[in-house]
Amino acid sequence: MSEKPEATRPFSTTFASIGAVYETDDLTNVQCRPTDEVFGKYCRRLSEMEQWVGKALPLEDVQSFVGLHHFVSRFVDDSEYYCNNAYRCLRVHTYTEKETAVVSHATIQDGCEISQLIRERRLPGLTRNPVYWHPPLQGATSDASGSSDAQNKGWGVCIMGYIAYGAWSQRVRDALSRGIVSISPLELLSCAVILHTAYVAGELPEGRRIVLRNDNVSAVQVINSGKAYSEPMLQALRVLRDV
């Protein structure tokens, strides 16, 4: 008598991107919101800034807050409207050429409205009457993760339908955790893995060009220019060229 198969885990309708979570329970109304980690950080910063409304703060602190405010505002309607007052805080610095900036009460009000909309899930839908189309993969995509979660530290590539992925060594994980190495050299290394995967899959004949896609600006600049100015990026570039 055959054993009863174990129950399979249901398909998750939620997936995460960089700083964002996509809710796909209703494919006619896919919604995107900031991750709990990002949203929690924003709410804490908003509360801190509220205590300093109208007072001079170090410019870097205000710039950091405005950047976070800009990111979170993207998840609600009228994001440009909610960012206008925050941008004005930085314009004051530009005109006066001081090393300080002031957060306005209007900016805090905007932040409170954004937070309320996100908490109540009053977010714009990303899809409407969706049409599904799966084009053939042309080119290649790679990504590297340096998440604080050790289980999520690794790399992945996709080229012409071939997929490869894996985890970083314990040495690299430790270096990431201690801040000895940044994610940029690892993103560049993942591009090298693309070429190796293409070669193994027989998709790299001599004289053929490949379009590499990567979400790390530093890695893209190094590949396009063929130059690197930091030792870690230089070593990663050497690996890429050796492949």
Instruction: Give the Cα separation of 92 and 220 in Å (integer).
Output: 34
Q: Which of 155, 152, 211 is nearest to 188 (CA)?
A: 155
pLDDT at 1 over 50: no
What DSSP line would sit under 28-85, residue for residue? TS-EEEE-HHHHHHHHHHHHHHHTTTTSEEEHHHHHHHHHHHHHHHTTSTTHHHHHHH
Q: Which of 93, 89, 86 is nearest to 107 (CA)?
A: 86
Instruction: Give the Cα separation of 15 and 211 in Å (integer).
Output: 26
Q: What's the pLDDT score for residue 159?
A: 73
HSE-up of residue 122 (Cα within 13 Å, Cβ side):
8
Q: What's the pLDDT score for residue 5?
A: 45
Instruction: Give the Cα separation of 223 and 214 in Å (integer).
Output: 10
* Contact in structure between 124 and 76 (CB atoms under 8 Å): yes
pLDDT at 212 over 80: no
HSE-up of residue 120 (Cα within 13 Å, Cβ side):
8
pLDDT at 7 over 70: no
- pTM, rounded to two decimals: 0.48
Q: What's the pLDDT score for residue 166?
A: 80
Q: Count Cβ atoms below 10 Å from residue 188 Cβ, excluding itself.
A: 27
Tokens representing residue 67 in the block: 């950047």
pLDDT at 16 over 60: no
pLDDT band for position 14 (cuts 50, 70, 90): low
**pLDDT 10s digits, 25-37:** 665 666 788 888 8
Instruction: Give the Cα separation of 186 and 133 in Å (integer).
Output: 32
* Contact in structure between 157 and 193 (CB atoms under 8 Å): yes
* Contact in structure between 193 and 142 (CB atoms under 8 Å): yes
pLDDT band for position 97 (cuts 50, 70, 90): low
Q: Mean of the per-residue pLDDT values for the chain?
A: 77
**pLDDT 10s digits, 99-132:** 788 899 999 999 999 999 999 988 876 654 444 4
